[in-house]
């Protein structure tokens, strides 16, 4: 791992000097622009992509049901080296079950999970028979922290490193760099109870890096964090991708998915709804502009002649959403309704997500 | 992809043999590190209570009872009680650790989940917990033995043999307790185990009074209890004698340990299967 090897340290130090202040993170271009890994991945339609092409990890035909409920249904995907793959979907879509199957914690009813430790043409490791060999090469941050409350930050890292069969001397050498990466150097000897939620998540991330993994699996790594803590977490994850790590990430936050992920997989009812880069998905599925209208009498507009100016109209609560190729005419027409408030914005991932998975609150949400 | 489709292993037998590698050791060391931080307060709880029982019953009740007839020989009650209660302490310490503490790590703190994100099998974790509870139990009984030596209750050199036997007693009871750990939904469940199993066991196993006072059916049950086997093995050693039917009692303890661990592992696998 670039992050923990000696050469990586130099790189890290160089990066640290440029570290932005907390909360003053400049808005970044989504990393989808031209990630190194993508250069090898010529066609962008992953469905047409033979999965043997540059995968560090692949899941084929995963299926799982509990009783009558099918939680994951014929799901296939792969992760390319150096890529951040985002899995998004509403609660109960099957994200966590998918991750658990990838980790060998849940046994799939059908399908296979494979890991390629030395590239797609090298030997193949498979769940569940090679579970230990695969886990030795993985970094995992689960949805709920499982840090040891009785230990300090440094002890948490030491004890976790031992589970990988690492010698104490090796782990102790890595600890300062891992703490630095997690921005927890000053908390090395602090008890877990003294850490904030964001600090705990970063410690979980640092712990997942103790074995110098090539692939990270992160289940909702920023859920429950405040904006500052989320931005710091994002910055660290981006750094890991820059260092060449591959990441599988589940999230509920569309801005997080858009910012971090090279490729997205939209999951609902255990099925893959669509897959692609965030920008492609938006371009393929949505009109470029959205005009939100709300205020007294807004709902009546949904069935008014104004509808003709939009390609698609949606009502949610007290707001009407107009999806359109050309917002100019619509906005001009809306000036006739000065009492209404309008918001004109480009279509985003959240619109896509809601279009694909619906606006209804799920019963189990 | 060259992925060879594997046969789904949903039906993987729960009772397949334990697969234990070397990774139980870091799990054991994790518990040791936590305990080292909390050792002094837990020491008081583990050791004070059995010693208070010994002093109160031994010297208080012992003054009333005087001597107890054991296999035709009369021995002081304090010696009778000490040799039984050290076994009871081994049982209680191992059970407590393998129930309340193991459950905290398994369910409440999700420590086991974290560990299994690393290349450590569930079998290794359960094995480490079993040995850990036995270790803590042995630590408790070692100190009790030392105090008993200091009090001059027994100076038999055979006590050296009692020590590893008490280690085995710890293994047996931590294995059995892990069965109930695997079945528990909350801490409340353990109250049943303590009141419905361990407390009767205490009175049926000849810790406080000779077993020949038990009525017929109770006596038969008593013959097959693991704590009975432990007391029958350890008590003669306090008197400087070799246990009668030593192999039978040893075999019974080993049987409970192996069967208990096996069942505990199967039930824990079931708990973690999905």
Window 32-61 of A: residues touching B by CB (8 A cutoff) are 50-52, 55, 58, 60-61
- Token readout for A105 is 């914690």
Note the pLDDT tens digit of each residue in A136-174. Answer: 999 999 888 899 999 999 999 999 999 999 999 999 999
Whole-number Å distance between alpha carbons of A139 and A340: 50
Instruction: Point out the residue among B3, B5, B113 whose CB comes nearest to the CB of A124.
Output: B3
pLDDT at A24: 31
Note the pLDDT tens digit of each residue in A176-232. Answer: 999 999 999 999 999 999 999 999 999 999 999 999 999 999 999 988 888 888 999
Between chains, do B6 and A112 touch, taking CB under 8 Å as contact?
yes
pLDDT tens for chain B, 274 residues long, are 334 444 444 456 889 999 888 999 999 999 999 998 877 777 777 778 778 888 888 888 888 888 888 877 899 999 999 999 999 999 999 999 999 999 999 999 999 999 999 999 999 999 999 999 999 999 999 989 998 888 888 999 999 999 999 999 999 999 999 999 999 999 999 999 999 999 999 999 999 999 988 998 999 999 999 999 999 999 999 999 999 999 999 999 999 999 999 999 999 999 998 6
pLDDT at A104: 87
3-state secondary structure chain A: CCCCCHHHHHHHHHHHHCCCCCCCCCCCCCCCCCCHHHHCCCCCCHHHCCCCCCCCEEEEEEEEEECCEEEEEEEEEEECCCCEEEEECCCCCCHHHHHHHHCCCCCCCEEEEEECECECCCCCEECCCCHHHHHCCEEEECCCCCCCCCCEHHHHHHHHHHCCCCCHHHHHHHHHHHHHHCCCHHHCCCEHHHCCHHHHHHHHHHHHCCCCCCEEEEECCCCCCCHHHHHHHHHHHHHHHHCCCEEEEEECCHHHHHHHCCEEEEEECCEEEEEECHHHHHHHHCCCEEEEEECCCCHHHHHCHHHHHCCEEEEECCEEEEEECCHHHHHHHHCCCCCCEEEEEECCHHHHHHHHHCCCCCCCC
Residue A51 CA: distances (Å) to CA of A120, A259, A270, B19: 9, 25, 20, 34
pLDDT at A363: 57
pLDDT classification of A362: cutoffs 50, 70, 90: low
Q: Please report residues of A whose CB lies closer than 8 A to that of B5.
A: 60-61, 111-112
> Is A142 in the B-facing interface, judged by CB distances under 8 Å?
yes
- Residue in chain B closest to A109 (alpha carbons) equals B8
pLDDT at A120: 65
pLDDT at A364: 54
Residue A40 has pLDDT above 50, yes or no: no
Distance from CA of A136 to the nearest CA of B (A): 5
Window 163-202 of A: residues touching B by CB (8 A cutoff) are 163-165
Q: Which position has the token pair 């246990």? A: B243
pLDDT at B4: 41
- Of the CA atoms within 13 Å of residue A90, those in its CB half-sphere come to 17
Task: Write A45-51 long-range contacts (CB < 8 A, 24+).
Answer: A45/A276, A46/A77, A46/A78, A46/A263, A46/A275, A46/A276, A47/A275, A49/A78, A50/B1, A51/A76, A51/A78, A51/B1
Between chains, do A107 and B4 touch, taking CB under 8 Å as contact?
no
Residue A244 has pLDDT above 60, yes or no: yes
**CB under 8 Å to A53, separation ≥6 — which residues?**
A40, A41, A80, A120
Distance from CA of B243 to the nearest CA of A (A): 42
Residue A325 has pLDDT above 70, yes or no: yes
Whole-number Å distance between alpha carbons of B172 and B255: 8
Least confident interval from A257-271, A348-362, B57-71, B139-153: A348-362
Window 76-135 of B: residues touching A by CB (8 A cutoff) are 109-111, 113-121
Higher pLDDT among residues A357 and A131, named by residue = A131
pLDDT at A235: 93
pLDDT at B273: 83
Between chains, do A150 and B121 touch, taking CB under 8 Å as contact?
no
Average pLDDT taken over every residue of chain A: 81
Between chains, do B30 and A162 touch, taking CB under 8 Å as contact?
yes
DSSP B186: S
Window 112-131 of A: residues touching B by CB (8 A cutoff) are 112, 114, 124, 126, 128-129, 131
- Residue in chain B closest to A103 (alpha carbons) equals B117
Between chains, do A146 and B113 touch, taking CB under 8 Å as contact?
yes
- Residue B138 contacts residue B170 (beta carbons within 8 Å): yes
pLDDT classification of A35: cutoffs 50, 70, 90: very low
Helical segments of B152-272, H only: 159-183, 188-192, 199-204, 216-223, 226-238, 246-272
> Is B36 in the A-facing interface, judged by CB distances under 8 Å?
no
Residue A13 has pLDDT above 70, yes or no: no
Between chains, do A163 and B23 touch, taking CB under 8 Å as contact?
yes
Q: How many beta-carbon contacts under 8 Å exist across A and B? A: 101
Least confident interval from A53-62, A138-147, A273-282, A298-307: A298-307
Note the pLDDT tens digit of each residue in B111-137. Answer: 999 999 999 999 999 999 999 999 999
Pick from A191, A208, A188, A192: which is nearest to A200 by CA?
Answer: A192
Note the pLDDT tens digit of each residue in A77-111. Answer: 999 999 999 999 888 888 989 999 999 888 899 99
Residue A345 CA: distances (Å) to CA of A299, A317, B145, B212, B239: 19, 19, 78, 89, 89
Distance from CA of B207 to the nearest CA of A (A): 37
Q: Please report residues of A whose CB lies closer than 8 A to that of B110.
A: 144-146
**Top-ranked range on mean pLDDT: pick from A261-265, A287-291, B260-264:** B260-264
* Mean pLDDT value of segment A263-292: 88
Residue A129 has pLDDT above 90, yes or no: no
> Is B13 in the A-facing interface, judged by CB distances under 8 Å?
no
Write the ipTM: 0.88
> Is B271 in the A-facing interface, judged by CB distances under 8 Å?
no
């Amino acid at each position: 791992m670039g992050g923990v090897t000696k050469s990586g340290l130099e790189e890290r130090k160089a990066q640290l000097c440029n570290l932005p202040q907390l909360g003053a993170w400049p808005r970044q271009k989504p990393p989808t622009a031209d990630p190194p890994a993508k250069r090898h991945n010529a066609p962008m339609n992953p469905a047409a992509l033979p999965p043997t092409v540059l995968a560090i990890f692949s899941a084929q035909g995963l299926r799982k049901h509990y009783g009558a409920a099918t939680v994951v249904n014929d799901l296939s995907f792969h992760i390319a080296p150096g890529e951040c793959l985002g899995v998004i979907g509403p609660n109960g879509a099957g994200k966590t079950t998918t991750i658990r199957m990838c980790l060998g914690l849940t046994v799939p009813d059908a399908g296979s999970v494979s890991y390629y430790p030395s590239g797609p043409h090298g030997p193949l490791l498979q769940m569940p028979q090679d579970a230990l060999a695969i886990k030795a090469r993985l970094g995992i941050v689960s949805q709920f922290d499982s840090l040891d409350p009785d230990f300090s930050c440094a002890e948490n890292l030491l004890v976790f490193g031992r589970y990988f069969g690492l010698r104490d001397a090796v782990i102790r050498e890595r600890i300062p760099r891992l703490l630095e990466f997690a921005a927890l150097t000053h908390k090395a000897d602090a008890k877990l109870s003294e850490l904030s939620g964001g600090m705990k998540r970063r410690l979980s991330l640092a712990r997942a890096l103790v074995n110098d993994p090539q692939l990270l699996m992160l289940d909702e790594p920023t859920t429950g964090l405040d904006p500052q803590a989320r931005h710091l977490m994002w910055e660290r994850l981006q750094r890991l991708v820059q260092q060449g790590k591959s990441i599988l990430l589940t999230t509920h936050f569309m801005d997080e998915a858009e910012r971090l992920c090279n490729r997205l997989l939209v999951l609902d009812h255990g099925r893959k709804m669509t897959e692609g880069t965030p920008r492609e998905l938006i371009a393929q599925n949505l009109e470029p502009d959205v005009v939100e209208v709300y205020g007294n009498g807004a709902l009546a507009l949904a069935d008014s002649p104004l509808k003709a100016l939009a390609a698609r109209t949606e009502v949610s609560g007290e707001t009407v959403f107009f999806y359109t190729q050309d917002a100019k005419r619509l906005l001009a027409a809306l000036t006739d309704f000065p009492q209404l408030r309008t918001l004109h914005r480009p279509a985003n991932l959240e619109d896509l997500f809601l279009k694909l998975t619906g606006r209804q609150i799920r019963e189990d949400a | 992809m060259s992925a060879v489709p594997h046969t789904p292993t949903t039906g993987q037998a729960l009772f397949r043999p334990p697969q234990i590698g070397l990774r139980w050791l870091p799990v054991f060391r994790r518990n040791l590190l936590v305990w080292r931080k909390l050792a002094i307060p837990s020491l008081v709880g583990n050791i004070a209570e059995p010693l208070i029982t010994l002093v109160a019953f031994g010297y208080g009740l012992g003054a009333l009872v005087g001597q107890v007839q054991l296999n035709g020989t009369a021995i002081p009650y304090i010696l009778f009680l000490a040799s039984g209660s050290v076994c009871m302490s081994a049982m209680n310490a191992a059970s407590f650790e393998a129930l309340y503490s193991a459950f905290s790590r398994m369910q409440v703190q999700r420590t086991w989940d974290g560990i299994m994100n690393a290349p450590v099998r569930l079998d290794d974790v359960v094995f480490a917990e079993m040995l850990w509870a036995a270790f803590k139990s042995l630590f408790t009984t070692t100190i009790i033995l030392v105090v008993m030596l200091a009090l001059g209750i027994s100076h038999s050199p055979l006590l050296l043999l009692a020590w590893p036997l008490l280690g085995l007693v710890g293994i047996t009871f931590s294995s059995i307790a892990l069965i109930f750990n695997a079945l528990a939904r909350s801490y409340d469940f353990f109250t049943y185990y303590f009141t419905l199993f361990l407390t009767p066991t205490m009175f049926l196993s000849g810790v406080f009074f000779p077993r020949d006072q038990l009525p017929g059916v109770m006596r038969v049950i008593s013959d097959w209890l693991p704590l009975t086997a432990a007391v029958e093995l350890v008590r003669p050693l306090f008197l400087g004698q070799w246990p009668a039917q030593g192999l039978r009692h040893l075999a019974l303890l080993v049987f409970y340990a192996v069967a208990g661990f096996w069942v505990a592992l199967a039930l824990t696998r079931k708990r973690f299967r999905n």
